[in-house]
Chain A
Amino acid sequence: MIGADAIIKCLEAEGVKIVFGYPGAAINPFYNSLSYSPIRTVLVRTEQNAAHAASGFARITGKAGVCAVTSGPGATNVITGVATAFADSIPLICLTGQVNSELIGSDVFQEADITGAVESFVKYSYLIKNANDIPRVFKEAFYIANTGRKGPVLIDLPVDIQNAVVKNFTYPDQVSMRTYKPTVKGHVVQIKKVIHELEKAKKPIICAGGGVLLSPAEADLRQFAENHNIPVVSTMMGIGVMPTEHPLYFGMVGNNGKPYANRAMNESDLLIMVGARVADRAVSQPDLITANKVLIHIDVDTAEIGKNVGPGIPLVGDAKHIFQELTEQQCDCEHNEWISLLEQYRETMAPVRRPNPDYVDPAAFIRMLSRKMKSDGIYVADVGQNQMWSCGYHIVRQGKFLTTGGMGTMGYSIPAAMGAKAADPSKQVVAVCGDGAFQMSMMELATIRQHDIPVKIIVFKNNYLGLVRELQHYSYQDHYSAVDLSGSPDLEKLSTAYDLDFVRLATMNDAEAVIEDFLKEDKSMLMECLIDPMDLSK
């Protein structure tokens, strides 16, 4: 057995079903062995999208997605995807080919110091120098990626190691690392403190972040909130922790969130932050948000607590365990008055839009689309104005909402939707992007065709980089610089070129029938919605 065979055995032992990637000379032994395995290979059209697809896959299965690329430019191309997964805490195993280990450091063809380059974007990285280390490294890598605060792990594989003979392959059952022991269970004393504060509080609120979904602790959080009648708001990455129309859910917070959600958080006297890093987009002034209130910060990553907000009451642990532990505790609390006040805010403070009837109103469109989608459908939002509208108007029922809230990488939606659909072909998967983001990953239409991954793609076309234009509208009084997207392709012709069905929606008049038709069959289709170029995200 050679190193490449050993790697495949490791992947099989970890239950890997699919590898997204792009081959090259330095990763060829791996791809050769892979072709003899039942693991499915999906050839993307640029390496960054291999990581995004693996990210979409991971977010549906809850297990690390795998991508494999070659050395040098293949490895450097994948960095943005890895960094995106890191910012969003998505478990990923990224395999990179490397030049012959004897030649490392001599700047030979397609050599890049990838472990050095990705240091600040990975949870951990390995450069394998001995083929006999392969089983241990892979066992550790999957363990690191999938536990604690999840994240990407990169394994650099010199081509000679992939070809070296491996003696006595055994995949380890356990990981023994003296430096890595993530805290899962909450501290009993801290749990009691939370209950104590909750009993004192008149206006408690839970702000849930992406960590709740990663745990996954949606059901446990919901149970706890329902038991004690506690309202819930979420960050962008936390969308989907509760069904959007759940009576206790009060929307997304932040500068692009719902005004009533922000008000609810501001007026609360007890704020329970869970699995959220309290970044600038969710909470622009952390000092103000914690004034006059008790803050409880629950996170599996100790370093997040007190980083951007606090100090408050820290509670380190995995959200699922914490909510289970909290639910076991007795707690007498009642806040019907607070809930009624928030309901009143929700009714009176909803943002009012004045849509232009000559175009598709993205807000109304997204609301209609969510109603027509299957209740457990997966909605993947890209980055830009489309993300703001998606966050604001998509109605999550039993489905999932995927987007990159941390890194905000344009072009995420199409490859991530591919990964999600590949992970669970029974689900309806819809990617929604702008015409800017679409052009950053439209090469993946070929991947969708080649591997028959039937995702639905909706492009909001306004011929502008809408969100940047919006910033220039506010900051530079409509003095636009480099935001005009003239020269973009005709999407109808493009669909024909890729042999995809296409539909254009010009106004809201035919929206209902067009959406129904678009969603009817489980096959790939492209829909273009014409959006008022001057429309604003709020």
Chain B
Amino acid sequence: MKGQGRGLQAYALLYLLFLYAPIILLPLFAFNSGTIIAFPLQGFTTDWFSQMWANATLRTALANSLLIAVSAAVLATCLGIFAARASTRFEFPGKGGMMGFILLPMVLPEIIVAMSLLVVLLGAGVQLSILTVILGHVLICMPYAIAILSTAFSSLDKSLEEAAYDLGETRWSAFRLVTLPLVMPGIISSLLISFTISLDEFIIAFFLAGNQPTLPTYIFSQLRFPKQIPMIMALGTVLVALSIVLLALGEYFRRRGNARMGGNPTRGFL
């Protein structure tokens, strides 16, 4: 048993190294003064970061991406609350089919979602813009929001709401005063996850943004120019740091939520 455990542990650690290899390299190249992304490293520099701050297109792309991600996260979470509430609290004919349909974007190749939406938007004469990207991002964020929110809603004790009704609260005030605070950690992690997905989403933004840059499409356009790559590495470093902070926050709220539900605070993701 001991030997088997050791072997597996060594394998798991190696696997983690494999998972983290790109992330470990990112800051190395971001602070490397050489312009070519290869070993051996040259010297230490923060030039790429200042070059990044001074880049006007990048700033536009960031502003666009933030606007898209915030809108998509809020809309997907709002729609997700409806779906999660419906699926965990009510029984009605066709529920499975309807839920399956809403969750479909999770298992559909993204290129097909993007292309079909693009064809329809172009056919309808809609001007491609940030709005059309938001439209697509809400669609692909919604299933993840629903998955997280369903967990939050299903671990909710139904009798708490019933107690509120018995104490004279209306359906809406019971939802606002009892249910909502209890599922709040779920809502926050749904917002964070949707935000992160949207911020990093490339395919839909690439095809539906028209000539508006978003962060991923800007990165993609710059990867063709070797001169720009050190700056992209600096940008990547910042993005990774940001993602880790956001994820740690999300994890914190999820654990606190589980603890508040009286569950095990270390319970897993699913």
A and B part of one assembly: no
